[in-house]
Structure formats: C-alpha cells, structure tokens
Amino acid sequence: MRDLFEDPADLPPVDPHQAAQRGARPTLRERFFKTVGVGEAPEGFSVTLDGKPVRTPAKRLLAAPRRAIAEALAAEWDAQTDAIDPSRMPLTRLANSIIDGVADRREEVAADIVNYLGSDMVFYRADSPDALVARQARAWDPILRWAADTFSARFLLAEGIVHVRQPEQAITAVSKALPTDSWSVGALHSATSLTGSALLALALMHGVRDARAIWEAAYVDEDWNIEKWGFDEVAALRRAAREAEFKAAALVLEAMR
C-alpha cells in the first residue's frame, strides 16, 4: 500500500493523528480488487482484498486485535468505489499509524498524552458571558468530577489563558491509568489531539460519555462562536474531517474497552 499511503519514514514518530492526516495522496488509484474480507492471523484479525492480506506502508500486516475493528476496516475498504481515496479512510490511516508508528514507540506516545494533562482544555474557563461560563461547566465539570472520583485526581481551574501549574499528584494519578497496548494508546492519543483534552479522551475510553457527547464537549467554545458570529464553510469542512478521524479513534477505543 506504499503507493496509497505515506511511507512510515515520512510519518511523525509520536502523533498518530498527524500521521493519519498525511496519508492522503493527490493522485487516486483505481479500485483493483473485487472482494474484501476479514481473516485470522497471529497478529489478530487481518483485512484481505481478493483473499490476499493488506499491508501497511511499512509492509506490516494490516491486522487488528479485535474483530470489530477489522470488520470496520474491511467495510471502509469495501466502501471505495471507482477509486481508492485515503482521505475517506480515517480508520485505515489510524490503523497504519498505530501499527507502523505507535507499536514501537508506545511509551513516547503515552508521554505525549500525559503532556496534555498539564494544560488540558477543560481547565481553562471563560470569565464571561455567563451563558458561556455555564455551558462550559455543564460540559466539562462532570468530567473533572469523574477524574476526581475515579483517579483521586483533583485539577485546578483558571479563567482565561494564563497557564496554571497542575498538581503533580493529579497528573501522576491519571497517567498511571493510561492503557498499555498500542491500539488503545494510539487511539487515545488521536482523540486527545483532536479534542484538545486528555481528560475528554479518557472519559471516552472508559465509556463515561459516548462519542457524540465528548465531541460536543470539545467544541463548546467553537459552537458558541458559531451561534454568535455565524457559520464558516471552510471551518465546517475542516471540522467534519476531524470528526471523521475522531470517530475512527472512538471506534477503536470502544472495541478495546
């Protein structure tokens, strides 16, 4: 698949979301297969095209540890019609980045998630107007209470954008709860970078809120601005693309739960 997706040498070593974004090629290849299936292999459940296994850009087997993920990957491949468009294959791009870019660097990727905890989006609140303050509280306060109850992690809130140093105890407590398998770590990192919040991503991973609720919580401020200032078509297209990536990460996290 090297002619469809990026060579792993060109992918960022830590960020699976950016790796996924760079997977699209301007020249599309015609669909060259008739059937898509799911097989079994030592690596898990593999995707097959006309009975032959699909390989990642690094020539590793495109195989997932859960059948549900492999079936979703197969459906994504089967949805390609006349041409194979990587921009419409967010789950495949995420899988490639996990297999080629995260599996050998799991600790680095996990450490990057921990870095988000130092300046997580949900810590920084508006001081006005009251309606926005209330909306942020409704979306984000339950996540903070969950983190406090589940991990004994109590974070500090701030108004505006001035950085507030978070308690090391809270960061350490949450970091100990991070997953250890590469698929969960890669999907969690993708969800974190797409939402701007490691806590929202962790709540998604644990099933505290469903994917739709987490996505809406991540866009409280942007939705407020849209309501006040109007719709921007370019921004909406960008957001839709990011949401597709987020849904791919959510699918993996749910399957791995």
55: number of CA atoms within 13 Å, CB side? 10
pLDDT digits (tens, 9 = 90+) for 92-126: 999 999 999 999 999 999 999 999 999 999 999 99
Residue 161 binned pLDDT confidence (cut-offs 50, 70, 90): confident
Residue ranges covered by each domain of the chain: 8-102, 106-256
Q: Whose CA is closest to 187, among 177, 174, 201? A: 201
Superfamily for domain range 106-256 = ATP12 ATPase (1.10.3580.10)
Work out the burial of residue 162: count CB atoms within 10 Å of its CB; fewer than 13 is exposed, 13-18 middle, 19 or more buried.
exposed
Matching fold, domains 8-102 and 106-256 = no
Residue 160 binned pLDDT confidence (cut-offs 50, 70, 90): confident
CA diameter of the chain: 59
- CB-based contact 44:70 (threshold 8 Å): yes
Beta-carbon contacts of residue 209 (< 8 Å; ≥ 6 apart): 142, 143, 203, 217
Detail the DSSP E strand segments found in 56-187: 63-64, 83-84, 124-125, 158-159
Work out the burial of residue 176: count CB atoms within 10 Å of its CB; fewer than 13 is exposed, 13-18 middle, 19 or more buried.
exposed
- Buried b / exposed e along 3-28 (16+ C-beta atoms within 10 A): ebbbebeebeebbbbebbbbbbeeee
Has this prediction a pTM greater than 0.95? no
Quick one: average pLDDT of 201-209? 97
Classify domain 8-102 at the CATH class level: alpha beta
More confidently predicted of 59 and 4: 59
pLDDT of residue 9: 44
Query: Does the pLDDT at position 180 exceed 90?
Result: yes
Token couple for 133: 């303050």
CB atoms within 10 A of CB 91: 23
